[in-house]
């Protein structure tokens, strides 16, 4: 029996299952390889600029349109300021895109109307997408990927009833949790075939061979999302952005909070863009660690998928993956395991520092030495 207070909550909200973020435990000496954070801190210049922004100005509202940041990003991406919106993390922008482009579901509606209320995405991909669709009361249309997690071609989309008119299609590229990168030419074909808005979520693109930003500037129905969280070591500051047609971007500006990006986040992101060579060195180091980890785990009998991200999806030998999760935890190493059957045989391991990779490999050898 629901309490009186619970009965005051909308039934849709009462029945929702919220997103489950990766754990952030406070355990001394814990090696945290579970949420794809960058193991390296922000650059010294970024830390200095952020500290310098902590003064009496904290009493003032931040710039409501993050103008300095958008101007700098427009220069970087060779687009107009009107092609850009900054968000409180890219997660906020995903939620805004659903609210701006997708109708809430109406049980009386017909088939075409169903598409207008549909959020479509490949599965497995970012598990936040169905949660955000659920909050909005939209239909969800997960499209199952094959065991190699490859991007289906247009013929296969047709054959398997892709919803070409879905109001919003969300594509994680490179994908998570598979780590698989997608060719821009294949993404272009998918975008050209799809009539509704396509949002390419490039949260991990700095670790990939290609990016698809050009598609957002070429096609009026394509948005590309980026974040300062993962590659630029700014998870705590919550800054992400979308690139796309000014009419789509203007719609998102209309519905966002007036001061959605906090002042310190704007300062940190701006300082990051002034120090990109530092971050490019950081990416090279991470890729070298990623490839070494992949080689060594493979040598220990793990099935490691090729990755264009800062994490590896890897199938451990011997005990089930869920048991590996617990045994690694006992060695103070935290990785991520997903219950979803498509990936439940795997662990997702964030690429950390070289020392963290060594600690992981040492623990792995102890848990299951290869005969």
Ligand X SMILES: *Cc1c(COP(=O)(O)O)cnc(C)c1O
Sign for the CA dihedral angle at 176, 225, 119, 129 comes to: positive
Cα dihedral angle (146, 147, 153, 156), rounded to 10 degrees? -30
21 in Cβ contact with 35 (< 8 Å): yes
For the bound state, the minimum distance from the C-beta of residue 301 to ligand X, rounded and expressed in Å, comes to 28
| Token couple for 245 | 């047609």
For the bound state, the minimum distance from the C-beta of residue 35 to ligand X, rounded and expressed in Å, comes to 8
Q: How many Å apart are CA 210 and CA 231, to the nearest integer? A: 15
* DSSP-derived secondary structure letter, 140: E
Of 36 and 43, the one with the shorter C-beta distance to ligand X is 36
For the bound state, the minimum distance from the C-beta of residue 84 to ligand X, rounded and expressed in Å, comes to 15
Of 172 and 282, the one with the shorter C-beta distance to ligand X is 172
Of 105 and 334, the one with the shorter C-beta distance to ligand X is 334
> Which residues does 52 contact at the CB level (< 8 Å), separation at least 6?
267
43 in Cβ contact with 359 (< 8 Å): no
For the bound state, the minimum distance from the C-beta of residue 321 to ligand X, rounded and expressed in Å, comes to 20
For the bound state, the minimum distance from the C-beta of residue 354 to ligand X, rounded and expressed in Å, comes to 23
For the bound state, the minimum distance from the C-beta of residue 98 to ligand X, rounded and expressed in Å, comes to 14
Q: How far is CA 40 from the centre of its chain?
A: 19
For the bound state, the minimum distance from the C-beta of residue 55 to ligand X, rounded and expressed in Å, comes to 26
Give me the helix-helix angle, 246-255 and 90-101, nearest 10°.
100
| Token couple for 323 | 């048991």
Residues that bind ligand X (CB under 6 A): 89-91, 126, 172, 176, 201, 203, 227, 229-230, 235, 240
Of 286 and 364, the one with the shorter C-beta distance to ligand X is 286
What helix, strand, coil percent values describe the chain, rounded to 5? 45, 15, 45
Instruction: Please give the angle made by the CA atoms of 237, 176 and 185, to the nearest 5 degrees.
Output: 105
Of 65 and 90, the one with the shorter C-beta distance to ligand X is 90
Of 49 and 176, the one with the shorter C-beta distance to ligand X is 176
Of 72 and 368, the one with the shorter C-beta distance to ligand X is 72
């Amino acid at each position: 029996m629901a309490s009186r207070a619970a009965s005051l909550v909308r039934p849709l909200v009462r029945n929702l299952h919220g997103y489950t973020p990766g754990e952030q435990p406070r355990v001394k000496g814990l090696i945290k390889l579970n949420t794809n954070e960058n193991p390296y801190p922000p650059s010294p210049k970024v830390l200095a600029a952020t500290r310098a922004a902590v003064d009496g100005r904290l009493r003032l509202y931040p710039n409501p349109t993050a103008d300095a940041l958008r101007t700098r990003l427009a220069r970087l991406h060779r687009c107009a300021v009107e092609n850009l919106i900054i968000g409180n993390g890219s997660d906020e922008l995903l939620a805004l895109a659903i609210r701006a482009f997708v109708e809430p579901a109406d049980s009386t509606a017909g088939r075409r109307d169903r598409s207008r209320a549909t959020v479509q995405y490949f599965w497995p991909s970012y598990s936040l997408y169905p949660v955000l669709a659920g909050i909005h009361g939209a239909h969800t249309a997960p499209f199952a990927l094959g065991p190699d997690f490859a991007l289906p071609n247009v013929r296969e989309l047709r054959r398997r009833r892709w919803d070409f008119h879905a109001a919003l299609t969300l594509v994680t590229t490179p994908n998570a949790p598979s780590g698989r990168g997608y060719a821009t030419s294949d993404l272009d074909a998918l975008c050209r075939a799809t009539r509704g808005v396509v949002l390419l979520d490039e949260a991990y693109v700095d670790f990939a061979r290609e990016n698809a930003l050009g598609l957002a500037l070429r096609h009026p129905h394509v948005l590309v999302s980026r974040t300062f969280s993962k590659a630029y070591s700014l998870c705590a500051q919550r800054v992400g952005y979308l690139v796309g047609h000014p009419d789509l971007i203007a719609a998102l500006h209309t519905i966002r909070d007036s001061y959605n990006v906090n002042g310190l986040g704007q300062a940190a992101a701006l300082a990051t863009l002034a120090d990109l060579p530092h971050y490019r060195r950081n990416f090279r180091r991470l890729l070298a660690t990623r490839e070494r980890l992949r080689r060594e785990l493979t040598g220990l009998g793990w099935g490691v998928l090729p990755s264009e991200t800062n994490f590896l999806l890897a199938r451990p030998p011997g005990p089930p993956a869920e048991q590996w999760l617990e045994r690694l935890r006992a060695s103070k190493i935290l990785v991520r395991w997903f219950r979803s059957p498509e990936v439940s045989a795997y662990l997702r391991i964030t690429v950390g520092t070289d020392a963290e990779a060594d600690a992981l490999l040492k623990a792995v050898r102890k848990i299951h030495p290869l005969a």
